[in-house]
Structure formats: C-alpha cells, structure tokens
C-alpha cells in the first residue's frame, strides 16, 4: 500500500511540474496533439511499473509463505520466524554482498554494448556480453568458494554468533547465482 501511494504521489508531482514547466516554454501554447509522446511513454513505463508492483507483491508473499512452510515442516512458530530472520537478515546480505560490485561493473558495460549495437556490430556485442558472462561466472565462483570455506568464521566475525555463519557456508553455492 505504501509503495503504491508513493508511486501515485510521484506521478502527481511529476504531472504538476510538467504542467508548470509547459507554461514557461515559449510557443507551448500552440495547439498540438495532446501528449504526443504518451503512447511511447506508456510502452516504456507500464512494464517498469508492473514489475515494481509484482516485486512488492512477491516480497510480501514470500514473507508470509516461508514461515508458514517452515511451520508445516514441524518447526514451531517462534522458531520458524527465527530461522526466516537469520536467513533473510544475516545469511542473504552476506551472500549477495559481492553483487554490489558486479552491478557497478555491469553498469560500465552499457556504453560498450550500446556502441556495438549502434554500429550493428553483432560480433562485438556477442564478444562483450560473452566475456562479461564468463568473467562474472569466474568471479562469482571464487566468491562462492570463499563463502563455503570461510562462511562460519565470517558469520561469527560479522554477527558475533554462529547463527548466520553456517548458513553462509551452506548457501555459498547460491552465491554463484546471487552474484
């Protein structure tokens, strides 16, 4: 609900600013088709908006279903929430930490991929994309190996408890996918 309200407030603010700026542009009072770019903007923005809404809905659903599934497996309600909290709050941040660096590096690929696409250089596009995928697999495998070997020690060091460390080691194969 709060995300949808924030998106709606953002839309209303953007419309108000658009109409204010439209009054300041010389010649903007000439008749023109209403919202000439509306179709193109909708084609770009609707999939983004729906993916944001779907992500919020799936996150809420996961937060409800995982503890429920843990309770079905025979774990008590308090223990189910504890396990979910350890995995979501301790293990997953460690497993996905390296993805911060990979996302920053992937942003650097966008200009090279765009140049290759504009030049219609399919081989350059495939070489850049293939090289980045190979490098990503190699580096994420290294991260997964480090997490597998040092997960329990890392958990003890970060959280001053062994609760999340075992999960870091056990979840390290997922590190290849998360990164």
In this predicted structure, the answer to whether residue 167 has a pLDDT above a threshold of 80 is no
- Residues 72-88 have pLDDT tens digits of 888 888 888 888 887 77
- Residues 33-74 have pLDDT tens digits of 667 777 788 888 899 899 999 999 998 898 888 888 888 888
pLDDT attached to residue 170:
59
Higher-scoring residue by pLDDT: 175, 92? 92
Structure confidence at residue 129 as a pLDDT band (50, 70, 90): confident
pTM above 0.85, yes or no: no
pLDDT attached to residue 31:
64
Q: 98 by DSSP, 3-state: which? A: coil
Compute the Cα dihedral for 166, 167, 171, 175 and give only its sign: negative
Buried b (16+ CB within 10 A) or exposed e, 13-32: eeeeeeeeeeeeeeeeeeee
């Amino acid at each position: 609900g709060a995300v949808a309200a924030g998106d709606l407030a953002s839309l209303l603010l953007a419309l108000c600013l658009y109409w204010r700026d439209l009054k300041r542009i010389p010649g903007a009072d000439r008749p023109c088709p209403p919202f000439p770019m509306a179709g193109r903007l909708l084609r770009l923005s609707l999939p983004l908006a729906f993916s944001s809404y779907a992500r919020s809905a799936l996150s809420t659903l996961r937060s409800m279903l995982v503890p429920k599934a843990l309770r079905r497996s025979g774990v008590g309600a308090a223990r189910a929430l504890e396990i979910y909290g350890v995995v979501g709050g301790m293990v997953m941040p460690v497993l996905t930490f390296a993805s911060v660096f990979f996302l920053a590096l992937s942003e650097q690929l966008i200009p090279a991929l765009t140049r290759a696409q504009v030049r219609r250089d399919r081989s350059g596009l495939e070489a850049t994309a293939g090289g980045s995928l190979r490098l990503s697999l190699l580096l994420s495998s290294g991260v997964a190996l480090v997490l597998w070997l040092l997960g329990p020690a890392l958990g003890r060091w970060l959280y001053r408890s062994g609760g999340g460390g075992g999960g870091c080691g056990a979840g390290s194969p997922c590190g290849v996918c998360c990164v």
